[in-house]
Amino acid sequence: MSLTTTVKTTVNIDEDVWEEFKRTVDRRYGGTRNLSKVVEEAISNYNTLELLRDAARALNVEPGEYPSSTEVETIRPSVDGASMIVREMRDEREARLHGH
């Protein structure tokens, strides 16, 4: 069991932004009692490293085993002619939209 430590802090936020955030929390959770929890959740979601860790856990990938960009390019499936197909689809859509 790990113990979590909380930190009390002060931040300066535009008043209108803060009031809108509180209204959103109130609508979503029926009150602002859990405001600290929602702020912490927002910060965690903003933290890219934490998002990567969560994604790795969901995919059962051990941290530090992320493939390099070269490995990604090597194992990426190739679709021959895909760009031509996409171009044709875009051209067909444009023709439909413009009545050609």
At residue 65, does pLDDT exceed 70? Answer: no
The CB density around residue 25, as the number of other CB atoms within 10 Å, is 19
Q: Is the pTM of this model over 0.75?
A: no
Domain ranges within the chain, ordered by starting residue:
15-98
The CB density around residue 29, as the number of other CB atoms within 10 Å, is 13
Dihedral (Cα; 53, 55, 57, 61), 10-degree rounding:
-90
CA distance 33 to 37: 9
**Tens digits of residue pLDDT in 15-36:** 999 999 999 999 998 998 989 9
Instruction: Name the band, by pLDDT with cuts 50, 70 and 90, for residue 97.
Output: confident
Instruction: Name the band, by pLDDT with cuts 50, 70 and 90, for residue 83.
Output: confident
